[in-house]
Amino acid sequence: MFNVFGHTTSPFGISAWQSSGSIYDWSIDMIMDSEDNADRTTRSELPDPSDDKEEKRVLSAALDSFRQYRRAAHYNITHLRRQSFYALPSAQVELLSSPALSLPKKFDAVDEAIDSNADIAEAILAIGLPSFGFGSQDESWKGHATPGDLDKARSTIRQLYRDWSAQGLPERHAAFSPILSALQQHLPETISSERHKHRVLVPGAGLGRLVFDICAAGYSVEGNEISYHQLLASNYILNCVSEPGQHRLYPWALNFSNHHTSSDQLQSVVIPDIHPAATLEAAAEQLKTKVPYSERMSMTAGDFCVLYRQIEYTEAFNAVATCFFIDTAPNVISYMETIRSCLKPGGLWINLGPLLWHFESAPTPADRDKQRGRTSNKYTHSHADENVGIGEPGSFELSNEEVIALVESLGFEIVEHRLAQPTGYIQDPESMLQNVYRPVFWVARRK
Amino acid sequence: MFNVFGHTTSPFGISAWQSSGSIYDWSIDMIMDSEDNADRTTRSELPDPSDDKEEKRVLSAALDSFRQYRRAAHYNITHLRRQSFYALPSAQVELLSSPALSLPKKFDAVDEAIDSNADIAEAILAIGLPSFGFGSQDESWKGHATPGDLDKARSTIRQLYRDWSAQGLPERHAAFSPILSALQQHLPETISSERHKHRVLVPGAGLGRLVFDICAAGYSVEGNEISYHQLLASNYILNCVSEPGQHRLYPWALNFSNHHTSSDQLQSVVIPDIHPAATLEAAAEQLKTKVPYSERMSMTAGDFCVLYRQIEYTEAFNAVATCFFIDTAPNVISYMETIRSCLKPGGLWINLGPLLWHFESAPTPADRDKQRGRTSNKYTHSHADENVGIGEPGSFELSNEEVIALVESLGFEIVEHRLAQPTGYIQDPESMLQNVYRPVFWVARRK
């Protein structure tokens, strides 16, 4: 079993998660600590120390990549650019430095933007370290980040635009609204104060905004995420930010293409757009729900299939909401079977997304390893999991028509199926290049 | 000087270009053979044999990549996929082979599509070999293609969708119509039979459709292209295809993502949409132009800046049309200066495109080499050109506002500037992911 916080002898303490006044609790709480889940502890095989070692390496790499954000961005984005710039003939340097263009000033402004983004990365790190039991003297996590990890840190920081800025609302609205409407429409009718009786699972929870929105609507919701980068960032935003707009994010500053003006490149947003806890509290009051939000929201860490195929999750949820998720599967049948297994009979599977198969360009196991950014030849973080979850052998890609056929043949009835609203995904609305998804939306009911 | 067909002792004969009833002649004719251009021959430094060797390697790699299209696509696209598919548990293989999905049948259909595409690649090769003086017994060009060359062959074949299929018309219309209108609107007025007096240059001519369209409109036009892949393909389509719809192209067959149905993946188009020579002939008749199309259209091969900075091109053109081109520059000032130099005073620079700077992710010279797909540490194809053209040291990216400021400060007056119509670039209109450019369009006049 892949379980980040898998057993009590793990070097990664979880006290910080619990003592920080968390909005939501993490997998360890779901899996290990809640009394009514105690049986899981005993049924889960404890990872052996070598698993912990590999697990710790992956975690360390994620932590280290947030530490290196500042230096790596200054180096790759502005330092090398200045070098290239000053390698130009001096007349050109002069022309490009003139007031009409002022490239050196742009580089300076980008450096300031990098610093502002790096402040966020370091805030995530500062909370992440004690949360995972790293003491202030412990430097064992340093120096583990690969270039792939640095990329993930950069894209995670940028993703805060989508999930936690006011400017990201159109993207969230396009992706989340149909899901929230479907919960209300297709789950058994209930007054809002009783919605907590519906348990919803969100695989691929990312930075947690959909989980948060579903909680704010009154449901009980559990997110699941495999990426430490995302887990660290969502924990910080949800549990540790003290006020709306605490940070200024420059989502496009590191990209130099397709801008109409330099000020387009240097647009900034503040994050988060709201204070998560205060907003949930206000929402709960309005809903008159009897169960406080902190008991209606949780997050698990680990491989979706491995975790939710466990017997204790059998028929545990009233709904599963997959948003830009199913195409992350090398084997989408495993996702479907897992979703079916953890849904109650009559339960809903709500899906919205395109089919950008993440493993399309990786038809061999070695390529898949590379694509996952693994440096070892392990298929998942820990040794025990080589051939399970996303580490399973075999892969394939389907058209939407085929996905639907498969959903139906695996024990679901399609109750709604349509094109969703076109939307970008972390898309600068001013850019000369718009990557626009035209996702499908469908709702299936477990027979 | 970088000049593909640079001198008469070159192993790459050009007779085939001339004897094939070409619609347009190639650089060698422009630069070396026409009597009125004889002075160029003497002024151009002849490359030494080591240049030819490097040049031949690059050409051989391009030729070889068309030869390998079939085998590489069968291997990478279907063979490895079948392996991954049959590595699945047998119950899943059975399910996915059932009539609702029939993945093995899809793989077979993709193989057939690959074969149809490969027929085009091999037709390009079959014409390319004698054109470059390779005899039927000569196998010296085989085995040179790198994975990067194979990628270029794949994308060149796919690009035929945009330039030479009826279905590509919307993309061409969005990109080419404003350019053709601007020629009519801003060049000195003339009756259509006299348009040949206007000489137009198209840098980055690609597969030649804009060059062709400008010729069909009655102008004299010269394309320039550096890529052997593109040169070989455009030569084949323009000069050697015997009828419209001679080939069937499956532009999306090799991609497995974002399809609504498998038949979307297996959509096909025929190419070319028209017979180029017949169409030009008919157009010339209608225009009542006195100069036959074959004398109004030519193509040069080589680095744009290196070639057109030569003194013989000084003030040679009435207009330069850059379409999805200027962002290919590591140093766009060089492009601008070259354009200015080869434009007559009062001449037009018409530009349409986004600013997807091709060298953005390559801030160091080593990265730039890698991005260009060079295996050697040479900056251009031949040794003599290390620090000229796209091999120049230094690079930078600009916003559109900065590009405009630079154009103005380099001796141009902006006479029109607006957003162009949004358009895809080799975009499957059925796909769940639409990459949509919102290019800018502007016209500048050389002071």
Nearest-Cα distance to chain B for A394, in Å, is 4
Q: What is the pLDDT of residue B100?
A: 86
Residues of A in contact with B95 (CB under 8 A): 333, 406, 409
Hey, are the CB atoms on A81 and B363 less than 8 Å from each other? yes
Rounded to whole angstroms, the Cα distance separating A39 from A8 reads 15
Q: What is the pLDDT of residue A180?
A: 98
- A97 touches B at CB < 8 Å: no
Residues of B in contact with A354 (CB under 8 A): 257-258, 432-433
Q: What is the pLDDT of residue A156?
A: 98
Residue recorded with tokens 């193989």 = B111
Q: What is the pLDDT of residue A372?
A: 62
The residue among B376, B357, B362, B390 whose CA lies nearest residue B146 is: B376
Query: Contact at 8 Å (CB) between B68 and B148?
Result: no
| pLDDT, greater one: B24 or A313 | A313
Hey, are the CB atoms on B84 and A364 less than 8 Å from each other? yes
Tokens representing B126? 């079959």
Hey, are the CB atoms on A434 and B435 less than 8 Å from each other? yes
Q: What is the CA radius of gyration of chain B?
A: 22
- Domain extents in chain A: 53-361+385-446
Q: Is A199 helix (H, G, I), strand (E, B) or coil?
A: strand
Tokens representing B86? 């049959």
Hey, are the CB atoms on B399 and A98 less than 8 Å from each other? no
Residues of A in contact with B355 (CB under 8 A): 257-259, 432
- B255 touches A at CB < 8 Å: yes
Q: What is the pLDDT of residue B4?
A: 31
pLDDT confidence tier of residue A112, bands split at 50, 70 and 90:
very high
Q: Is the pLDDT of residue A425 over 70?
A: yes
DSSP A221: E
pLDDT, one tens digit for every residue, chain B (447 residues): 222 332 222 222 222 333 334 444 443 332 222 333 333 222 223 333 345 788 899 999 999 999 999 999 999 999 999 999 999 999 999 999 999 899 999 999 999 999 999 999 999 999 999 988 999 999 999 999 999 999 999 999 999 999 999 999 999 999 999 999 999 999 998 998 999 999 999 999 999 999 999 999 999 999 999 999 999 999 999 999 999 999 999 999 999 999 999 999 999 999 999 999 999 999 999 999 989 999 999 999 999 999 999 999 999 999 999 999 999 999 999 999 999 999 999 999 999 999 999 988 776 666 766 666 544 333 334 444 456 666 677 889 999 999 999 999 999 999 999 999 999 999 999 999 999 999 999 999 999
Cis peptide before A272 (omega within 30 of 0): yes
Query: Contact at 8 Å (CB) between B3 and B29?
Result: no
Residue recorded with tokens 């390998």 = B68
What DSSP line would sit under A285-320, residue for residue? HHHT-SS-GGGTEEEEES-HHHHHTSGGGTT-EEEE
Q: For residue B96, what is the nearest residue in chain A, using CA coordinates?
A: A406
Q: What is the pLDDT of residue A16?
A: 30
Q: Write the single-letter amino acid at B137.
A: Q
Query: Contact at 8 Å (CB) between B72 and B114?
Result: no
Q: Write the single-letter amino acid at A399.
A: S
CA of A201: how far to CAs of A183, A208, A222, A304, A406, in Å?
12, 12, 5, 11, 21
Q: Write the single-letter amino acid at B71.
A: R
The residue among B366, B280, B259, B272 whose CA lies nearest residue B24 is: B280
CATH of A53-361+385-446, one of 3.40.50.150, 3.40.1280.10, 3.30.450.20, 1.25.50.10: 3.40.50.150
Q: Is A443 helix (H, G, I), strand (E, B) or coil?
A: strand
Hey, are the CB atoms on A92 and B440 less than 8 Å from each other? no
Instruction: Compare CB distances from B258 to A95, A355, A433 and report the shortest one's residue.
Output: A355
- B173 touches A at CB < 8 Å: no
- B140 touches A at CB < 8 Å: no
Q: What is the pLDDT of residue B364?
A: 66
Q: In chain A, count of helices (H) and strands (E)?
A: 17, 10
Q: Write the single-letter amino acid at B166.
A: A
Rounded to whole angstroms, the Cα distance separating A441 from A384 reads 36
Residues of B in contact with A85 (CB under 8 A): 394, 396
pLDDT confidence tier of residue A52, bands split at 50, 70 and 90:
confident
Residues of B in contact with A396 (CB under 8 A): 81, 84-85, 88, 96, 103
Tokens representing A145? 């980040």
Ramachandran assignment for A2, one of left (phi > 0), alpha (psi -120 to 50 degrees), beta (any other):
beta
Rounded to whole angstroms, the Cα distance separating B132 from B55 reads 12
CA of B32: how far to CAs of A133, A138, B5, in Å?
74, 71, 9
Query: Residue B249: beta bridge partners?
Result: B269
For residue B58, the number of C-alpha atoms closer than 13 Å in the C-beta half-sphere is: 28
Percent of chain A past pLDDT 90, that is, above it, reads 77
Instruction: Compare CB distances from A409 to B95, B396, B400 and report the shortest one's residue.
Output: B95
Hey, are the CB atoms on B257 and A360 less than 8 Å from each other? yes
Cis peptide before A354 (omega within 30 of 0): no
Q: Which of B81, B105, B258 to mutate to test the interface with A (most CBs of A within 10 A)?
A: B258
Q: Is A1 helix (H, G, I), strand (E, B) or coil?
A: coil
Rounded to whole angstroms, the Cα distance separating B142 from B110 reads 26
- B393 touches A at CB < 8 Å: yes
Residues of B in contact with A362 (CB under 8 A): none
Secondary structure of chain B as H, E, C letters: CCCCCCCCCCCCCCHHHHHCCCCCECHHHHHHHCHHHHHHHHHCCCCCHHHHHHHHHHHHHHHHHHHHHHHHHHHHHHHHHHHHHHCCCHHHHHHHHCCCCCHHHHHHHHHHHHHHHHHHHHHHHHHHHHHCCCCCCCCCCCCCCCHHHHHHHHHHHHHHHHHHCHHHHHHHHHHHHHHHHHHHHHCCCCCHHHHHHCEEEEECCCCCHHHHHHHHCCCEEEEEECCHHHHHHHHHHHHHCCCCCCEEECCCCCCCCCCCCHHHHCCCEEECCCCHHHHHHHHHHHHCCCCCHHHHEEEEECCHHHHHCCHHHCCCEEEEEEECCHHHCCCHHHHHHHHHHHEEEEEEEEEEECCCCCCCCCCCHHHHHHHCCCCCCCCCCCHHHCCCHHHCCCCCCCCHHHHHHHHHHCCEEEEEEEECCCECCCCCCCCCEEEEECCEEEEEEEC
Angle, helices A147-164 vs A103-131, to 10°: value is: 90
- B354 touches A at CB < 8 Å: yes
